[in-house]
Amino acid sequence: MTRLLPALFLITIACGSNNTLQHTGRGFLETGDYDLAIIQLRAEERMNPADVRIKRDLGIAYFRTKQYEKAVSKLSQAAKLNSRDQVSLFYLGVNYEFLQQLDKAAIVYRACSSLDIKDELKNELLARSQEIELKYSKKQIRDHLSELKNSNSHVTEPNSVAVLYFRNISEWRELTPLLKGLAEVLITDLGKVQRLKIVKRKKVQLLLDELHLTPCSLLDQLKMRDTGRMLGAAKLITGGIERVDNTRIRLTAGVVDTKSGQLQGESVQAAGRLSEIPELEKILLVGLLKSLGVRLNSDEAKALQQFPTKNNLAFIAFSKGLDFEDRNIIRQAKYQYEKAINLDAEFKLAKQRLAQLSQKRLTIAEMEKLLPQSYKNP
């Protein structure tokens, strides 16, 4: 008789005799009665199979009881029904992270961070996704290095692209700080093109660190094919920056097919004053997209017209900040990002890097409090 009581209780609720929040799946979830919440939410789901809220709450209840695979299943269904549901995406990313499916967790966190959420949560999700991507990338690189001796296979997605650091051809010291900033801005712009899968700059840096190489020696030590395998890229963008005279520079870049090692399309050049490097990057971008065979839609074209900054001194400070960050000299990195922002208050890339470096890392419980609805663990 005792075993029948929960079932009879749920039937009474389903029939509407006492259908208050306290006696719904949501009510049990909020009071921490997760086993009862799961039973009730499954009953509610059978009656309303397309209800996003029910699937989301059921996924959260599974998460609370450490049934992470079941949680992913329900939260994925909720996210498919409403791709802009912040809560579903947040918990989906958390469950992927608990399952050590790090690549998926990073993708979901970034998708959630693009929605209208509080800045503190947005910055935390971006920081977590970056950390996850670094861990995943490091594992990939080490796996690929161990396989390199035993395999000649070359399996990459056709539209995957990595941007290598440009060579300082003239070895003019003033140009060296620009190399990482130029790569980061190119990567950011190319990332706005939906059909391309862009390798993060940090993955390029990880490969250099793992092999103890400088940017200039990378392609001297690794073949194009092997570099592509390490980075998971079918195409590599590589080039150089050189001094023309005391005030002018020239950028040269091209797209290389990593399988054949051949240049794809024509090389691209852009020359102008050192202070014009943000504009020169845009000239390169147009030519590189042509070599990649990409036709932009109207939204992409509009997005690519935007400059991260037109202030050359801000760009240089940002580039220095990236280098300090890569070397884990965090105080100097923050100083350079702050300098870039002081020079250009609209420099979003610098603001993002500074926010992710400066922010105190949040626990899951602290992040939950920043969600539009409270789902904190009682």
Q: Which residue has the tokens 């590189």?
A: 288
The runs of H, that is alpha helices, within 162-276 are 178-190, 201-211, 218-221, 224-231
**Residue 300's pLDDT is what?**
92
Task: Indicate the residue type of 243.
Answer: R
Distance CA(338)–CA(350), nearest Å, equals: 8
**What pLDDT score was predicted for residue 8?**
39
Q: CATH fold of 154-305, please?
A: Rossmann fold (3.40.50)
> Which is more confident, 152 or 13?
152
Give the separation between CA 141 and CA 103, rounded to whole angstroms.
14
Q: What average pLDDT does this structure show over 216-242?
A: 83
Mean pLDDT, to the nearest integer, of 169-185?
A: 87
Please give the Cα distance from 347 to 198 (Å, whole number): 22
Indicate if the pLDDT at residue 345 is higher than 80.
yes
In whole numbers, what is the pLDDT of the chain averaged over residues?
Answer: 86
Share of the chain above pLDDT 90, in %: 54
Q: Looking at per-residue confidence, does 96 or 174 come out higher? A: 96
**What pLDDT is attached to residue 50?**
93
Under 8 Å CB-to-CB from 100, ≥6 apart: which residues?
A: none
Tens-digit pLDDT profile for residues 67-98: 999 999 999 999 999 999 999 999 999 999 99
Residue 15 has pLDDT above 50, yes or no: no
Assess whether pLDDT exceeds 60 at residue 22. no
pLDDT for 149 equals 55
Q: Are 112 and 93 in contact (CB under 8 A)?
A: yes
Query: Can you give the pLDDT at residue 148?
Result: 63
Q: What is the pLDDT of residues 272-284, one digit of tens each?
A: 998 898 899 999 9
Q: Considering the entire predicted model, what is its pTM?
A: 0.67
Predicted pLDDT at 6 = 46
Annotated domain spans of the chain: 4-136, 154-305, 308-357
Q: What is the DSSP letter of 166?
A: P
Q: What is the mean pLDDT of residues 357-365?
A: 80
Average pLDDT over residues 103-108: 91
pLDDT at 153: 55
Q: How far is CA 6 from CA 13, 39, 58, in A?
A: 11, 9, 18
Total H helices, total E strands in the chain:
18, 6
Q: Structure tokens of 50?
A: 């397309």
- Compute the distance between CA of residue 129 and CA of residue 145 in angstroms, rounded to an integer: 24
> Do residues 254 and 267 lie in contact, with contact meaning Cβ atoms separated by under 8 Å?
yes
| Higher pLDDT pick, 15 / 105 | 105
SS3 category, 17 = coil
Which residues, including other chains, have CB under 8 Å from residue 209's CB and lie 6 or more apart?
none
Nearest to 289 by CA among 181, 148, 159, 184: 159
Q: What would the mean pLDDT of 210-227 be, rounded to a whole number? A: 76
- Asked if 326 and 180 touch (Cβ cutoff 8 Å), the reply is yes
The strand pair at 160-163 and 235-243 is best described as parallel
pLDDT range class, residue 162, cuts 50, 70, 90 = very high
Asked if CATH classification 1.25.40.10 holds for the domain at 4-136, the reply, yes or no, is yes
Give first-to-last CA distance, the chain, whole Å. 31
- Neighbouring CB atoms inside 10 A of 297's CB total 11
Q: Is the distance from CB of 343 to CB of 313 less than 8 angstroms?
A: yes
pLDDT at 212: 81
Which are the contacts of 96, defined by CB distance < 8 A and separation ≥ 6? 72, 102, 104, 105, 108
CA dihedral of 258, 262, 264, 269, whole degrees rounded to 10: 110
Parallel/antiparallel/unpaired status of strands 235-243 and 263-273: unpaired
pLDDT above 90 for 56:
yes
Contact 148, 226 (CB under 8 A): yes
